Copies of this chain bind each other. A is one copy, B any other.
């Protein structure tokens, strides 16, 4: 799946993943109205609104980008109906041949991580049969519990040729509270990064130069990104924090390797709620999907210019 991601990045010339994080406040009024008319102001109504909103965005951007990243919390908050909307979104994106990165940030002790790995990336056994629970292509993983929490995901990655992105240095303001603590002379995120490189070496595809084990490093920390790029040369980096969280194209160049690969930049509300920004306000809520498409094109250009400028 890492090779498919790389192929699609090359074809689209867009190292971009669109975050499908559908807060209700992003959903245009006409979609909410139709959903609430059909299902009432219920969890089912919210889930229907989210699903229709996503579908519009996916239809508008699937030819431009290699991947999408639904943030499961935004669905989980609506209980079971929300989880069904998550499932429909994953399935629909796969129909459109998008690579689906489930932003689930799971991580637990070994036997429990195995259940998450099986449910999201693998197949679960039921008697003599086996089934996909959610069926994403990649998921994000929290490393705090150490190797035995990550290895069950690695096992499934090797078996199913799927992938993970392990949290190393997250994009949020307080990420430094623990991640930047100095362990000897190095910050914790660098040790986690070195461990990710080590895990990754055990999970290389037969043909290809990037591992099934990737990393998450926030665009809001470009200096740390520069260090981590060197610590993890064969690791694909998922970079959140572009746009709404403050990251800019020029901040991103050090996340990429010399081959122009090695990073994929996420933007969520900057794309999916573009119509709420002044820059794209002319589209209006009715044309929110066209606004999302325009925002993807602008983001692609911003990144291309930044990469060209690094010489």
Contact = CB atoms under 8 A, between A and B. Distances in A.
Interface stretch (A40-48, A271-279, A281-289): A40-48
Interface in A102-139: 105-113, 115-116, 118-120, 124-129, 131-134
Interface string A39-75: 0011101100000000000000000000000010110
A77 interface: yes
Interface stretch (A143-151, A252-260, A293-301): A143-151
Interface string A65-89: 0000001011011111011100100
Contacts of A177: 146-147, 195
B79 A126 contact: no
B183 A77 contact: no
A75 to B, nearest CB: 9
A162 to B, nearest CB: 15
A34 interface: no
Contacts of A246: none
B146 A175 contact: yes
A198 to B, nearest CB: 11
Contacts of A105: 106-108, 142
A172 to B, nearest CB: 4
Interface residues of A, number: 74
Most B CB contacts (10 A, CB to CB) among A77, A110, A113 go to A77
Contact of A41 (B46, B110, B118, B129): B129
A208 interface: no
A124 B133 CA distance: 25
A261 B144 CA distance: 28
A207 to B, nearest CB: 31
A204 interface: no
A125 to B, nearest CB: 8
Given A21-B112, A76-B134, 11 more contacts: A36-B127, A41-B128, A45-B127, A74-B112, A79-B132, A80-B80, A146-B176, A147-B177, A148-B173, A178-B191, A181-B188
11 contacts: A36-B127, A71-B115, A73-B108, A73-B115, A74-B112, A76-B134, A79-B87, A80-B83, A142-B144, A144-B144, A178-B191
